[in-house]
Structure 1
Amino acid sequence: MHLPLNALRAFEVSARFLSFTRAASELNVTQAAISQQVKNLEERMGVQLFRRLPRGLALTAEGIALLPVLAESFGRIGSVLEQFQDSRGRSREVLTVGAVGTFAVGWLIPRLRDFQQAHPFVDFRLFTNNNRVDIAGEGLDYAIRFGDGAWHGTDAEALLAAPLTPMCSPALAPYLRDPADLGSQMLLSSYRSDEWAIWFAAAGHACPVLRGAVFDSSLTMAEAAAQGAGVALLPARMFARELQQGRLIRPFEVEISSGSYWLTRLKSKQATPAMQVFQEWLHHAAAQ
């Protein structure tokens, strides 16, 4: 049986108030419209839902049976629809962001609660990567990447500088009093193979032969360093928590820059309200 939703709603409100007039006021229609919708519903169901009295309405046995079912159903629909709106009545909007894992864990996630509290209408989706990302293919609104900002077909806005510096476990730190001491240690590397050579040049020393493992993620390289596998070149800004906890030690102050974190999106992508508030919040948080 296919019954019109408006007619079911008209009955449910009329039954709660036992009045077509009060139902019409709540639903912003005329009393005649409510009466007609209920009459049509009764005809389609083949039962009488109300007894029309001189002063109001009374539910029949069929109406009494139908009312709680409809009340619960409309209540559940309302609860679900409320989830699609924020406290100011704005419809919720999905925002899908891809981010380099190091940035996501070291910077974005600790601040994510602030963004969600400031913009509750945004349904935030985060996907992490190792700096290799296909914005269109993965359906991303934004991608946060590390590099020089030159990615074909994208608009890129600089977010944060992330200079690199050696880090190691507390057990190794006492053996590293001079950059030359690094020559006797395992030096962990990223896929950017020239970073150690650049750092040693900045420190005024010749780069030794690299003997440590190579990693495609700063997160895994940092964990290897924390567990004593060697010394890693890492962005101190992204590992502030590990430095504060003492899991990682920074034995030298010399830093080098090999790129920055950038907020990127396809040039063909039209910015949505969720994208705009995320962009503004991100730049404000980065500036702080």
Structure 2
Amino acid sequence: MLDRKWLPLNALRAFEAVAKKASFTAGAHSLSVTQSAISRHVSSLEDLLGKKLFERRPSGLVLTDAGQKLLPVVERSFDRIEKTMNELKQESAKGARVLRIHMPPTFLQRLGMQLLHEFRVEFPDINIDVSSTYGNGMPSRDIDVAVIYDKPRISDAIMDVLWMERVTPVCSPDMAAKYKDCPLDQLLADNELLHVRIDGQPNNHLWSQFSKHARIDLDTSRGVTFDTLALAVQYASRGYGIVLCDIDMYADDIDAGLLGIPAETEIKDGFGYFLVLNAEDLEDPLISLFRNWIITRFSAVDRRSLSSMRAGTPAMRRDAVGDPVQVVDV
């Protein structure tokens, strides 16, 4: 059995470089060494393991089964070493640790700003680097912890649910008042449908789900599509259309009369907001601290008053006539 004091680090670096470039020449160039040197390293690693790591085919260099098994482990290990050493170097230069956090744009705008401010007030010695990108799922950018918009899924990452969204049609208060005594299908037929882009789903996904469960015959292919819910809601608030909105995210705007709810039905669409991090990062005290802090923050808030996080006052969720809203699981 191999002992860590005998781990061939240079050979592992050579293997990773060749695997990433699918070429001995390109791999050698990326490490600024000769091709013969990198070939010797890979050969010595194959001899040590007793398995071939690459196959030469007419289409090019490909990993064997053993190579495919080894590569992600090597990449993650070197990534962690590189990350930690850079953090230590950064701490030495700046005297403070930087926590890299990703949040979706609407989440960041509605809740994240307040949450980050509260975290900084409580932990002023921890600097924060915030990124935000469109789309659902994990960002490609190198981060420590991410809030993502997605469906529950099985993966190697740690996923903590913050809340599962519920959506209902939302429009301007004037539009809601105008159609107060009209059937919902007439309101939807007369006005623009607003969509929010979800990776891996057609643009009309949410409206198709809603019309199915509301039993409304609706042409969901028409309308305007936005990258974020915040943009779609802003468009709807001006009286330009109707959007299916996360009612918990916008509870304070609804209660303040800035948005109207013309329907008494909302659906659970299976999407929600999750805190995601790599399992090995649980050993990082800073990442573990932030994880525990934000989970505790959400667990202490009633789901009907999520949006009050940014205002500091509780928000009550009611429909247009003050009665509880019917919830339908999709």
TM-score by length of 1: 0.62
Residues 1:183 and 2:189 are matched in the alignment? yes
Residues 1:121 and 2:125 are matched in the alignment? yes
Change (3 A) 1:134 1:254: closer
**1:224 aligned to which of 226, 230, 235:** 235
Q: Which amino acid aligns with 1:138?
A: R
227-236 vs 178-187, which moves further: 178-187
Equivalent residue, structure 1, for 2:170: 167
Equivalent residue, structure 2, for 1:264: 276
> Which one has a bigger Cα radius of gyration?
1
Residues 1:282 and 2:294 are matched in the alignment? yes
Equivalent residue, structure 1, for 2:152: 149
In the TM superposition, residue 120 of structure 1 has moved relative to its aligned partner by 1.9
In the TM superposition, residue 213 of structure 1 has moved relative to its aligned partner by 0.4
In the TM superposition, residue 205 of structure 1 has moved relative to its aligned partner by 2.2
Q: Which amino acid aligns with 2:103?
A: A
Paired-residue identity, %:
21
- Structure 1 gaps of 5+ residues are 1-80, 85-90
Q: Which amino acid aligns with 2:225?
A: V
Number of positions where the alignment pairs a residue of Structure 1 with one of Structure 2: 200
Residues 1:247 and 2:258 are matched in the alignment? yes
Q: Which amino acid aligns with 1:278?
A: F
Change (3 A) 1:248 1:134: same
Question: Once superposed, what is the RMSD of the aligned Cα atoms?
Answer: 2.4
- Structure 2 gaps of 5+ residues are 1-90, 302-330
Change (3 A) 1:165 1:134: closer
Distance 1:235 1:209 in 2: 19
In the TM superposition, residue 112 of structure 1 has moved relative to its aligned partner by 2.7
Structure 1 residue ranges (4+ consecutive) displaced by more than 6 angstroms after TM superposition: none
Distance 1:152 1:140 in 2: 17
DSSP-derived class of the 2:265 partner: coil
Give deviations 1:164-218, integer Å, cap 9, x for gaps: 1111112211233332121211111123422112112222322334421011211
Conserved in 2, the CA contact under 8 Å of 1:149 and 1:157? no
Equivalent residue, structure 1, for 2:6: none
Q: Which amino acid aligns with 1:93?
A: R
